[in-house]
Structure 1
Amino acid sequence: MKLIWSPENATKAYIDTVRSCEVFHESGVAELISAMAAGWNAEFIVETWSQGGVTATSIGLEIASRHTCARHVCVVPDEQSRSEFVAAMKEAGMAPEVLVGEPEEVMAGLVGIDFLVVDSKRKDFARVLRQARLSPRGAVLVCKNANSRSASSFRWRSVVDCGSRRVVRSVFLPVGKGLDMAHVSSSGGNLGSSKGENRWVKHFDQQSGEEHVIRK
């Protein structure tokens, strides 16, 4: 089974996040990410957070998880960050699961992630993406604060394309401080690439009514 988009879930999560994040100046980011997570029917949502960070995105992800009955985990680097995060989320009436430790190490124990949000301001964000154990049905990866890093220093293929996976599509959105997002294929699919590998293409002959499968 692959990730399937649900406009209804996306709309509900978006509206609920708008109501919950009115006090945040960067709520537009939270609303969009929440709608994305709910719209893709995420079952396992993971994010990274550090002390002093804005919790609007976390609130949005928690709202999305309620719409899709997903597991929502926030990875924080230390106990001080955990205390600050838990207090902020409690004030918002929410209590997502929190794990303490270096993100790239914690990721080893999180299997089946289908929606991952990392902060580009952290120097280790690329390593976190590489270590993520994604769901076999595919995943959506999001880098927030993407304006904080050099566009030339990061390529989605450098952290995703390997084995039976590839980046289906990626997009940069000038929302908030920049969102860089990628949709990763399900595992074991027909991946064909621009590296000269063979791809199968279907062609329908309107005159004969026959369907031809051609290798390119």
Structure 2
Amino acid sequence: MKLTWSPERASRAYIHTVQSCRVFSESGVAEFISAMAAGWNAQLIVETWSQGGPIATSIGLAVARSHTCGRHVCVVPDERARSEYAERMGEAGVEAEIVVGEAEEAIQGLVGVDFLVVDSRRKDFPRVLRLAKLSNKGAVLLCKNANSTSKGFIWRSLVAQGSSRRVVRSAFLPVGKGLDMAHVSACGSNSTGRRWIKHVDQQSGDVHFIRR
């Protein structure tokens, strides 16, 4: 089994999120991420959030969950953040499961993650990505507020974890303040006795890993 894309579900989630987030100024990111999560039929959507942070993306993920009938879990650092997050989501008419604790520890208790959103402004985000217990069907990983000059290094570290996973594709998108994303293959999809070759597209800057 592997993740399968549904353009119809993605379109419905996109429109639903536009309607839900019309009061927010950060238009574009929430709608895009919601469409991605719904389009890939994500069954366990996980995000990290800190007190005072934007809430539009979280609303978009909650909308996506309503279209996939899966779970949407948000990891927050403390009770103050939990209270603010729950209140702001409630004001928008949506909700999510909230886990309180250090992201590096909390992520290890969530098994089968197939859609993960982290903030690259947090110092712990590379470790959170590495520790995530991804779904056997594969996963989509996104870093918000990403820096285009450093794109690709995150995904190289993921490939190095072992031979059971590979990055199918990665891309940096100038959406919002920058969005770095990667599609990770289903578990066990790699062949043995091969090696990774890194290729950088000179025009777009996208990083691709080819198995030969």
When the two structures are superposed, what TM-score results if normalisation uses the length of structure 1? 0.86
Alignment match, 1:157:
156
Equivalent-residue separation in structure 2 for 1:109 and 1:131 (angstroms) = 10
Equivalent-residue separation in structure 2 for 1:42 and 1:16 (angstroms) = 17
Alignment of 1:53-72 (within 5 A): 53-72=53-72
- Contact between 2:139 and 2:184, CA under 8 Å: does it hold in 1? yes
Deviation at 1:194, TM superposition (A): 2.6
Q: Which has the larger radius of gyration?
A: 1
Alignment match, 1:209:
none
Alignment deviations for residues 40-69 of structure 1 (CA, whole Å, 9 cap, x no partner):
010110000001110100000000001000
Q: 1:14 to 1:152 in 2, by over 3 A?
A: closer
- Contact between 2:2 and 2:186, CA under 8 Å: does it hold in 1? yes
Alignment of 1:78-157 (within 5 A): 78-147=78-147, 151=150, 154-157=153-156
Structure 2 residue identity aligned to 1:2: K
Q: 1:185 to 1:153 in 2, by over 3 A?
A: closer
Alignment match, 1:189:
189
Deviation at 1:160, TM superposition (A): 4.2
Alignment of 1:23-42 (within 5 A): 23-42=23-42
Q: 1:169 to 1:86 in 2, by over 3 A?
A: same
Secondary structure of the 1:122 match is: coil
Structure 2 residue identity aligned to 1:138: G
**Aligned-pair RMSD on alpha carbons?**
1.8
- Contact between 1:116 and 1:142, CA under 8 Å: does it hold in 2? yes
- Contact between 1:157 and 1:166, CA under 8 Å: does it hold in 2? no
- Higher mean C-alpha deviation, range 184-193 or range 54-63: 184-193
Instruction: State whether structure 2 residue 17 is matched by structure 1 residue 17.
Output: yes
Secondary structure of the 1:128 match is: helix
Deviation at 1:27, TM superposition (A): 2.1
When the two structures are superposed, what TM-score results if normalisation uses the length of structure 2? 0.88
Q: 1:146 to 1:94 in 2, by over 3 A?
A: same
Deviation at 1:150, TM superposition (A): 5.5
Structure 1 residue identity aligned to 2:150: A
| Structure 1 gaps, min length 5 | 196-215
| Structure 2 gaps, min length 5 | 198-211
Equivalent-residue separation in structure 2 for 1:20 and 1:104 (angstroms) = 30
Deviation at 1:152, TM superposition (A): 6.6
Percent identity over paired residues = 69
Equivalent-residue separation in structure 2 for 1:160 and 1:41 (angstroms) = 24
Q: How many residues align?
A: 196
Deviation at 1:154, TM superposition (A): 3.4
Equivalent-residue separation in structure 2 for 1:157 and 1:31 (angstroms) = 28
- Contact between 1:77 and 1:103, CA under 8 Å: does it hold in 2? yes
